[in-house]
Amino acid sequence: MLKLLMTRKLPDPVLEKARETFDVTVRDNTQPMDHEELLSSLKDYDVVLPTLGDAYSAEVFSAVPHQRCKLLANFGVGYNHIDADAARKVGIEVTNTPGAVTDATADIALMLMLMTCRRAGEGERMVRAGRWQGWHPTQLLGLHMSGKTLGIVGMGRIGQAIAHRAHFGFGMTIKFYNRSPKDVSFPAEQIDTLGDLASQVDVLVVAVPGGAETHHLIDASVLQKMKPHAHVVNIARGDVVNEADLITALSEGQIAGAGLDVYEFEPEVPKALTDLDNVTLLPHLGTAALEVRTAMGLMAVDNAIAFADGRPLPNAV
């Protein structure tokens, strides 16, 4: 039997499915693997199911000259923690779990949009602290989101699911910026530059993959173009947004608020952010629902089984 390592505990049906084909080891730690664990994962297992934070860099691959591992079946669509080019160079294939995450992550984006526009975090903190003295007509007035203009940065699977919800559910006008030209099945206008998009929208949602190409894509130059009543939401990867520039924009009133599911130096969240009232902070909840995590795990295991059977990998990256 081929040996498979799950680098985190996954839902039971995923483990059961994997055990039908593999001799499975489940790592008993919720933190990303350290350097030594990364090296032994490549030496001791045929297949690894890694996830967010398991940093398979080019240095890790070159530190293990004769890898037993031939497949990294990533749990998650985002795989910016794996240097996939370096993996391929040493004969290791990489797969991910596209599609399984789309609706759940789009839902979280809509939640963050509403929470930041309607100041839900501030209100919740006020109630919990016993500071609420009752309803009055000018209390906690936020941005009325219905009918406003939404800008999507990265009109892929998740970007389109967000836009679809916002257009049909909230009557929002959709504009977007994307690396390549994109036709979508609902009314939406592609804008040529990110700066132009930022200047035209009431809410800007970031939905591009992480990695070198998108590092600090949203920085001071983009934030300064936004309207002072506008909000930024990031459900992509933390380092797509320059966090220091975002903190400046939020504290100086260049923008009205932000909703974040991800952080530049995750899981570190700077005090400058937690001190601000006009930012909603979630602990990377994008796909955090049991059926979604199960579907992601089964998809990763399907890739592993295809590898074991010598079939083409369904979700090679």
Give the residue numbers annotated as catalytic, written as ranges: 237, 266, 284
| Range in contact with ligand NAP (rule: CB under 6 A) among 115-123, 207-215, 248-256, 305-313 | 207-215
Among 121, 142, 151, 209, binds ligand NAP (CB under 6 A): 209
The CB-of-102 to ligand NAP minimum distance in angstroms stands at 6
**CB closer to ligand NAP out of 166 and 207:** 207
Beta bridge partners, 281, equal 260
- Judged by CB under 6 A, the chain residues 23 through 42 that form the site for ligand NAP are none
E strands, 207-274, are: 231-234, 257-260
Interaction residues for ligand NAP, span 131-170 (CB under 6 A): 154-159
**98 touches ligand NAP by CB under 6 A:** yes
Q: Which of 142/286 has CB closer to ligand NAP?
A: 286
Backbone angles phi, psi at 63, to 5 degrees: -80, -10
Assign 158 to helix, strand or coil.
Answer: helix
Stretch that binds ligand NAP, among 87-95, 96-104, 250-258, 263-271 (CB under 6 A): 96-104
Q: Under the criterion CB under 6 A, does residue 229 sit at the interface with ligand NAP?
A: no
Among residues 47, 261, 293, 301, which is the contact residue for ligand NAP, using CB under 6 A? 261
237 binds ligand NAP (CB under 6 A): yes
Query: Which one among 33, 71, 77, 191 touches ligand NAP, defined by CB under 6 A?
Result: 77
Examine residue 279 and tell whether it contacts ligand NAP (CB under 6 A).
no
DSSP assigned state of 311: P
Should residue 297 be labelled a site residue for ligand NAP when binding is judged by CB under 6 A? Answer: no
Q: What is the distance between the alpha carbons of residues 178 and 191, in angstroms, rounded to a whole number?
A: 8
Site for ligand NAP (CB under 6 A): how many residues?
31
CA pair distance 77, 96, nearest whole angstrom: 5
Q: Please check whether residue 273 is in contact with residue 247, taking contact to mean a CB–CB distance below 8 angstroms.
A: yes
Q: Which is nearer to ligand NAP, 243 or 261 (CB)?
A: 261
Question: CA 9, CA 81: separation in Å to the nearest integer?
Answer: 19
Residue 67's DSSP bridge partners are none
Q: How many CB atoms lie within 10 A of CB 31?
A: 12
CB 33 within 8 A of CB 41: yes
In this structure, the chain runs to a length of: 317
| Distance between CA atoms of residues 286 and 289, nearest Å | 9
Work out the end-to-end distance of the chain between its first and last CA atoms, rounded to an integer number of angstroms.
Answer: 26
Does residue 260 touch ligand NAP according to CB under 6 A? no
- Residues near ligand NAP (CB under 6 A) are 77-78, 98, 101-102, 105, 154-159, 177-180, 182, 207-210, 213-214, 235-237, 261-262, 284, 286-287
